[in-house]
Amino acid sequence: MTLTTSRSTEVQSGGPGLRQVRNVVTAIPGPKSVELNSRKSAAVARGVGISLPIYVQAAGGGVVLDVDGNTLIDLGSGIAVTGVGNSAPAIVAAVTEQVNQFTHTCFTITGYEGYVAVAELLNELTPGDHDKRTALFNSGAEAVENAVKIARHFTGKQAVVAFDHAYHGRTNLTMALTAKSMPYKSGFGPFAPEVYRAPSSYPFRDGGLSGAEAAERAITQIEKQIGASNLAAVIIEPIQGEGGFIVPAHGFLQTIAAWCRANGVVFIADEVQTGFARTGAMFASDHEDLVPDIIVTAKGIAGGLPLSAVTGRAEIMDAAHVGGLGGTYGGNPIACAAAIATIHSYQNDGLIERARDIEAVLLQELGALQAVDPRVGDVRGRGAMMAIELVDPATNEPDAALTTRVVSAAHAEGVILLTCGTYGNVIRFLPPLTISDDLLRDGISVLGNVLASS
């Protein structure tokens, strides 16, 4: 165990060296976290909520250590960000080296190799072997906004279609693209114009529509209500994230993409949550042999540093004039150094295979829960992106209250669990790909216990 000294108190370093076992030694949150949280309430805007108000001291492998000495199992990865694990040694080394060289130039003032290298990696790894270009930004929402800007510039058209249950971010345009009102949009309008919504494919709740049928339903609505001649882009998450880890029926994505191709509409895959080994493939599009015109990535791209990317067909990406894309921090050199190390780790450390192993463990454990508890209405997802949907077994109605109870009870036992879903009744599992099977099984057994008594 490495101990470093900071401000005269002993501080545990993060990374895989942290002891990989759940260990709850105080109430959750403990006294130091409670104290920090009262400072938070007095200093931080109320709108910035914290769903599990422990304060973190170190994290790595599959655990998070809080300031009270509790070790919690991490089944969230900070929302699918730390796929390679928190403070992964290769990323710490790459970031440290870069920090010592230079921290910022603004890529649109003077260039540096890291930015170009990330673009090369993304052009190579994203689906399709066509000629590609990439532009880098800071957040998922900023990248989505830029993907739409680029599609509009390329097509000379304005309308954009997003889907039911979609989540694309919290900036003005991306709030418009996002479906759910509370908490993301309520009171924050007016929203950006020329954004339209189409019905999606939700196998658990759409009465068994096939992928092709669900796509035809969406396409008919798009043709009647917007018209392809007005439509710049269709944007979709290949597996919907915040909306409930909804895997569309096979063929849905392909049919929509084919219609886009035939109608001069740019097909944008938002892989901000699904990208980078998370689903047991480098990108979720790969599972469906889907080749998007533009793919948007962020979250898992840089081991926790803020970075996002828009990668697409060269002729689309190059449509915008010189100087039309950019930003002060986009493709920051430290974030790029982290991304290069992170992407190499996905490629070389067996993390795609690891995501598939995690899927097997989760399917087994969650399937066992479902077999004994009919309130587990659905078990779904891919790779290390799995979820359960909790329902009233008599009616299949979403049970958000049960979901909230279960998740807070799991928090108290030292398991970081996240919810999602339009109806607030989905528990999602997004562990770091570096979590051990033992921790994973322990986390799900805690879930099973709290579910049984909720």
Ligand X SMILES: *Cc1c(COP(=O)(O)O)cnc(C)c1O
Provide the minimum distance between the beta carbon of 274 and ligand X in the complex, in angstroms, as a whole number. 7
| b/e burial code for range 260-274 (CB count within 10 A of at least 16 → b) | beeeebbbbbbbbbb
The residue among 169 and 414 lying less far from ligand X, judged by its C-beta, is 169
Q: Which residue is nearest to ligand X (CB)?
A: 140
Amino acid at 436: S
Which positions touch ligand X (CB under 6 A)?
139-141, 144, 167-169, 237, 241-242, 270, 272-273, 298-299
Pairing of strands 63-66, 56-60: antiparallel
Provide the minimum distance between the beta carbon of 124 and ligand X in the complex, in angstroms, as a whole number. 22
Provide the minimum distance between the beta carbon of 243 and ligand X in the complex, in angstroms, as a whole number. 9
Is residue 150 within 8 Å of 314, Cβ to Cβ? Answer: no
Provide the minimum distance between the beta carbon of 337 and ligand X in the complex, in angstroms, as a whole number. 19
The residue among 65 and 309 lying less far from ligand X, judged by its C-beta, is 309
Q: Shortest CA distance to 356 belongs to which of 423, 439, 281, 258?
A: 281
Provide the minimum distance between the beta carbon of 196 and ligand X in the complex, in angstroms, as a whole number. 18
CA 361, distance to chain mean position in Å, is: 21
Q: Which two tokens stand for residue 423?
A: 């109806």
The residue among 203 and 300 lying less far from ligand X, judged by its C-beta, is 300
The residue among 236 and 415 lying less far from ligand X, judged by its C-beta, is 236
The residue among 157 and 299 lying less far from ligand X, judged by its C-beta, is 299
The residues, any chain, with a CB within 8 Å of residue 213's CB and separated by 6 or more, are: none
The residue among 91 and 268 lying less far from ligand X, judged by its C-beta, is 268
The residue among 144 and 416 lying less far from ligand X, judged by its C-beta, is 144
Q: Which long-range contacts (CB under 8 A, 24 or more apart) does 395-399 make?
A: 396/205, 398/423, 398/424, 398/425, 399/375, 399/425
CA dist 156 and 427 (Å) reads 41
Q: Shortest CA distance to 403 belongs to which of 363, 451, 358, 331?
A: 451
CA dist 194 and 237 (Å) reads 19
Amino acid at 27: A
The residue among 146 and 403 lying less far from ligand X, judged by its C-beta, is 146
Per DSSP, the residues of 408-446 read HHHHHTTEE-EEE-TTS-EEEE---TT--HHHHHHHHHH
The residue among 123 and 139 lying less far from ligand X, judged by its C-beta, is 139
DSSP one-letter code for 48: S
| b/e burial code for range 87-99 (CB count within 10 A of at least 16 → b) | bbebbbebbeebe
Provide the minimum distance between the beta carbon of 192 and ligand X in the complex, in angstroms, as a whole number. 15
381 phi/psi in degrees, rounded to 5: 125, -175
The residue among 144 and 446 lying less far from ligand X, judged by its C-beta, is 144
The SS3 assignment for 321 reads coil
Provide the minimum distance between the beta carbon of 284 and ligand X in the complex, in angstroms, as a whole number. 10
Provide the minimum distance between the beta carbon of 26 and ligand X in the complex, in angstroms, as a whole number. 31
Q: Which two tokens stand for residue 95?
A: 């970031």
In the numeric block, the tokens 């730390």 are attached to 82
The residue among 18 and 282 lying less far from ligand X, judged by its C-beta, is 282
Which residues are paired to 5 by β-bridges?
10
Provide the minimum distance between the beta carbon of 36 and ligand X in the complex, in angstroms, as a whole number. 23
Provide the minimum distance between the beta carbon of 174 and ligand X in the complex, in angstroms, as a whole number. 7
Provide the minimum distance between the beta carbon of 335 and ligand X in the complex, in angstroms, as a whole number. 12
